[in-house]
Every structure is written in C-alpha cells, then in structure tokens.
Homo-oligomer: A and B are copies of this chain.
Amino acid sequence: MQTKILPPTDNAYQYQLLIKSLLLSGARYEPDREIVYSDVMRYNYRTLNKRIAKLANVLSEAGVQAGDTVAVMDWDSHRYLEAYFAVPMIGAVLHHVNIRLSPDQILYTMNHAEDDYVLVHDDFLALAEPLADQMPSVKGWIQLTDQDSAASTSLPTLGEYEALLGAASDQYDFPDFDENSVATTFYTTGTTGNPKGVCFTHRQLVLHTLTMASTLGNYEGQPLLRSEDVYMPMTPMFHVHAWGVPYVATMLGVKQVYPGRYEPNKLVQLYQDEQVTFSHGVPTVLQMVIDCEAAKTADFNGWKMLTGGSAPTLGLANTMADLGVHFITAYGMSETCPILTMTYQRKDEFSQPMHDQMARRILTGVPIGMVDLQIIDPAGNPQPHDGEAMGEVVVRTPWLTQGYYREAEKSAELWEGGWLHTGDVASIHPNGSLEIKDRIKDVIKTGGEWISSLELESLISQHENVSQVAVVGVPDDQWGERPYAMVVPIEGTELTHDMLKQHLMQYVESGQIAKWAIPEKVSIVAEIPKTSVGKINKKLIREQVIA
C-alpha cells in the first residue's frame, strides 16, 4: 500500500532515538537530586552528567571505538549507571556480564560477545585473572574499586576508574548515529546448551523507557515511580537492564540508590537510611530481604515493590501485605528488554483492603502500552480470554531482541510466525490479567491432560509448614509424565507426604484441581537447587529424580 511519505526539508534535523536523549531531562528537572552508591559515594545529577562525559573521554582515550564492546563486571553501582549511558552514547556496545554464571560460562559469553574492553571490580579479579589469557578480543581492562587503593592484580589494567575519571574532561560532544545501533548485550541461560546472547538497540531502549515511565507513573492503582520517589534496584544491573528502571529513573530525575553486592541486611539498612520508596526483585531475593535480621526491626510500610522473574506465591504476597508493602507483579524476560505486562487494578479493585487484592496482584498483570500480546495453541490459534484456556504467550512490541546473537536457528525459532515466542503458557482472565501457568517445557503432560507445575507449587506453598516448593514432571510408563514435588519445610516444623496429600485434597474437593494432579512422589529436603539468577532449577531437579 502506498501511504504518503514526504521527504524532509534538507536541513531538518533527523532526530534519532538515542540513549543520550534520556539524559536531557533529569538534570534539568532535579539538578540537586542524588545518586547514592551504598556507603561509598554520593553525588547529584549535575555531577552524574559530567561523570558520564568523563567516562566517555576515558573510554575514547583508552581506544574504544564505535562498534566496540565494553564489558562490565561489577555489582550495582554508580559506575554501572554511568556505563549504562556513556558506553552506548559513544556508539559502543555495553555487555552486562552475568557474574553469577560459572567461570566457563562467563568465559564463553565474553568471547562470544567479542568484548574489547572490560571494567572489572576488585571482587572479580580472582575470577578474571585466570581467564584473561583465553580472551583474545580483550584489548584493555579498567579496574573498579571501593577502597582507597585498588587491589593488586596481574591484569594489564589501564588504571583505576575513579583515578581515570578524575583526570578526564567533563565535556564530550556525544555524536548522532543510527538509532538501530546496538546499545547493550547480555546472555540468557536456558536449561540446555550455551548461554544465548540478546542485543538491544538505542531505539528499543528509548521506547522501552518511555512506555515504562508512563506505566510506572500514570496508573493510580499501581503508582510505582514518580518524581518524588527514591529508587533502589534489587534486580542486578547485569540482569536485563535492571528491568529498565535505571533509564526511567534517570530520565525523571529521581533519587537513585545503588546497593553494591546484594546482602539482605545492607539492603534493609539502605532502604531505611535513604528513604527508599520503590524497588524491584525476584521473589527469592525479596524473601531473603524480609527474612533477614535487619528486617525484624524495619518498617516496610509503604515500600512499593515490583516483582517478577518467577511467579510469587500467595504466601509471599500475603506476607508482603502484612508488612504494608505495595506488592505488584510484572512479566517479561531477557529477550523482551524486559517488560511486557504489569499489575493493573481498576478503582473498584485497588479500593479493596490490601489482602483482598493479593490474589490479583500476583497474577502477571495486563499488557502495558504498545504491547501486542496473544496466547496461542500449538496450531497458532489465539485462545479466548476466559481465565481457563491456556496457550503460549507470543508478543510484538517495539523493544524485543531481533534474534539471538550469532544463533540463526534459535533466532528463527524465537520468531516463528513473526511473533516472539516466550515459551510461557498462560491464560488471560476476563479482566485482562495474564496468568502464567507454566513454562511450555515444564507443563506436566499426564494422561493426555496438562497440569501446571506452578499451580501445584502455589497450592502446596499454602501449607503453613512449607517454606519452599518445586514441582516437575517426571517420566511415567503408564501416564507419560507424573508430577513430583520437592518441598522445604519451615525450620522446626513437621512436614510429611501424608500431610501434603491431605492439604491438597481440600483443593480437589473445591474443584480447583483434579485428584490425579496430586503427586505420588514427594521429597522433603533442606534446599532446592537454584540457577545462577536464583530461580528454581527444574532441569537439575528432573535429572536428580531420574538418576
């Protein structure tokens, strides 16, 4: 079809959606607002902008060229925030190294991304030093330290970060370039094969930021981040752009607190000292925070907390409600920048007492603006939004990775039929809320029916003596698969297979699950295997059970 497209006037400015645009407004609005790095450093937005220019000068003078990749191995810090801007703004690619991976995996990702320069924190020197010889693409290292003097290292570093910034000019004329230039890259670990690299462009990150800002600010049922809030991430900055919030926070000019390495007591201390109002984290991290020593005397009332990454249990949600935390769920993944959906409540919903809202708040929410989302059956047919029908979640938004880096076959699978396939199975409730039922590969296929392993986990978690639970499907000669549950009791309480069976029978009687959904196989254990990002490692559990 032939729409009307006009050639622009010759001298009209072709505004590209670049990350530097996100830096315009924060310092104009709130020049005196602070960026805080744990108990190590604090400065204001005027200084942030200058430091980003300084870092750009340091990198350029070190030899970083447009198109190069600059890796960061650091905890959440002001330095990481500066790199979020400075690296893409000089036309280079920021590689958020997942320092929770095994050394072999880290080596694999850094070589696969062809990192040219690496910013490495003292805490990762012992990890990096033996790998350095095996990274032929790396041309230089910059050392990051929180101490008065940097630790000694065998790495050939260009110097220490603060010393280098101290000597650099705070002026940099950031260039314009194509908005489709890659800005960031990082790796997602599936349960099989090597980590897969995803890439995000300037355009994608700007559009994610703008839509996210409105989503966090415009909705009265979920007001998460507005100009007077104080932000502290509890999802690491190496993990899907800390869900994209640092870019939003910087655009808005809000106070930001970066906590360094996540230590629950320190997180609670910073929350209190810096008057944090908004954070986000996966359920396991949040559980650690509310269970820690410092939490016993802390007042969490009013803390706005976005969760995601895996489904929070109703048990955790109710604990949050008891504490006065405004607990909200979002859904997304590494491939999606990440945000796709977020809790949305209408006035009659958010006006209810908090405890009555929790069953809705732990659903994964409603697709946010600009997101086209469907649930489809294996033949690709969209399923009804009746809260019952299940289908795979497929999406189109302006901020989806356009493939896996140098993985043509997996890229084609990801984008089968022109929709990004999340690999998640969900239903959509009549009120628009998406409920993730399971990973397609974790759905338990038994006797021709599907059982959601997550639903079983949720029901088991509601037993008062259950601390953690994982359910997987294991091979069965008669039924194809049968559910198997691994359960951690709350310390000092009793828990038996029979008690769990009896607990689940109430849900059979109420019609919530079928009788054949009750697992015959249950293990009571002290710990459940986790992945590097703190999610339950179902692949490993399956292997352990079968072996």
Contacts and interface: CB of A to CB of B under 8 A. Distances in A.
A293 interface: no
Contacts of A372: 21, 24
B24 A396 contact: no
Contacts of A93: 4
A418 interface: yes
Interface in A177-199: 177-178, 180-182, 199
Contacts of A199: 6
Interface string A1-45: 111111011111101010001101100111100000000000000
Contacts of A219: 29, 226-227, 252
A2 B369 contact: no
A91 interface: yes
A508 B41 CA distance: 49
A332 interface: no
B367 A24 contact: yes
Contacts of A368: 25
B225 A13 contact: no
B17 A398 contact: yes
A492 B46 CA distance: 54
Contacts of A210: 207, 210-211, 214, 369-370
B6 A402 contact: yes
Contact of A10 (B220, B371, B397, B412): B412
Contact of A403 (B12, B25, B227, B415): B12
Nearest to A368: B25
Contact of A2 (B66, B213, B347): B66
Given A3-B177, A17-B398, A9 B403 contact: yes
A127 interface: no
A371 B15 CA distance: 10
Given A24-B370, A226-B219, A396-B15, A66 B29 contact: no
A363 to B, nearest CB: 14
Nearest to A395: B13
A366 interface: yes
A175 interface: yes
A220 B228 contact: yes
B415 A11 contact: yes
Most central of A29, A91, A371, A417 by chain B CB within 10 Å:
A29
Given A226-B219, A344-B29, A2 B412 contact: no
Contact of A9 (B9, B178, B252, B412): B412
A8 B25 CA distance: 31
A333 to B, nearest CB: 16
B3 A178 contact: yes
Interface string A38-70: 000000000000000000000000000111010
A7 to B, nearest CB: 8
Contact of A415 (B9, B344, B398, B417): B9
B218 A432 contact: no
Contacts of A10: 412, 415
A262 interface: no
Nearest to A202: B3
A420 B9 CA distance: 11
Most central of A210, A211, A346 by chain B CB within 10 Å:
A210
Contact of A4 (B2, B182, B220): B182
Contact of A30 (B5, B346, B397): B346
A265 interface: no
A178 to B, nearest CB: 6
A220 B217 CA distance: 10
Given A1-B66, A12-B415, 14 more contacts: A2-B66, A3-B91, A6-B402, A6-B405, A10-B415, A11-B417, A22-B369, A24-B372, A210-B210, A210-B370, A217-B217, A219-B226, A219-B252, A251-B369
6 contacts: A3-B66, A3-B91, A12-B400, A15-B398, A216-B218, A218-B218
A-B residue pairs, 3 tightest by C-beta: A217-B218, A3-B181, A8-B402
